[in-house]
Amino acid sequence: MKMGESFSKQQGNQEFEPNLQTPQQDEKETGQNRHPDLQRESSDLDKRQPPESNRTFTRDDFNRAVAAERRKAAEEARNAAMQEFEEKQNKVKQRQAEAEKFSKLQAEEQVRVLQERLETLEREKTEIQLQREADNLRQKAIEKATAAKLPISFVSDIDYRNIDAEKLDDLIQDRWNDFNREVENRLNEILPNRTPQTHKEIPDPYAWQKPSQPAGQRKPWEKFTNR
């Protein structure tokens, strides 16, 4: 047998195996062996692709973004509404539970619970009334002090919840007298050699303190300078 015939028989006995590799796999396996010019062209092509930051958005992209924001806002509003609804439902359930609990009590126990609630309401009502009266009294005192050109400090630190209008006038009068006395003492310390003026040297030392109008028409706080 000749050598050529033997080689032909060996090739005839071997089965044909097709190449099942994909182009991507073939490119990965043979990429290192590619021609330098082909590698350079591929690199230049990658460089020519625009970056993501320079991408031009189309109207469809804009519409999709707007729709996504609207869905997000609607979801947040729905969650807030559900939370508010659940809170109201919890309050209603709490009141129903209290009503059921109250209905199960005996008659005497119900009377006791109602009495406690009534006392609580009375205390709250009294507290509100006292605070309202104190606020009104404070406002009137500030108005009178401002009209008489007195410092607001004369009436700013008073406990209006535990004082009435008459006692308030007396308290401010005492503070006014103490203030004048303190000023006089301070002047005597600063000017120790000054000659005090006596009643004989001044024709009417309290003339500036006399009311210029009848008692019924005097200005607010005028009595504080007339005692």
Q: Where are the domains of the chain?
A: 61-190
Percent above pLDDT 90 for the chain: 7
pLDDT tens digit sequence for 66-82:
888 888 888 998 999 99
**Interval 168-175 mean pLDDT:** 82
Residue 216 tokens read as 């019924």
With a CB cutoff of 8 Å and minimum separation 6, the contacts of 187 are: 194
Average pLDDT, whole number, for the chain? 71
Percent above pLDDT 70 for the chain: 60
Question: Is the model's pLDDT at 148 over the cut of 60?
Answer: yes
Decide: 158 and 168 in contact? Cβ < 8 Å.
Answer: yes
Query: CB-based burial of residue 107 (10 Å sphere; 0-12 exposed, 13-18 middle, 19+ buried)?
Result: exposed
Supply the pLDDT for residue 206: 45
- The residue length of the chain stands at 227
**Interval 20-26 mean pLDDT:** 50
Quickly state the pLDDT bin for 143 (edges 50, 70, 90). Answer: confident
3-state secondary structure of 123: helix
Quickly state the pLDDT bin for 149 (edges 50, 70, 90). Answer: confident
Neighbours of 221 (CB within 10 A): 20
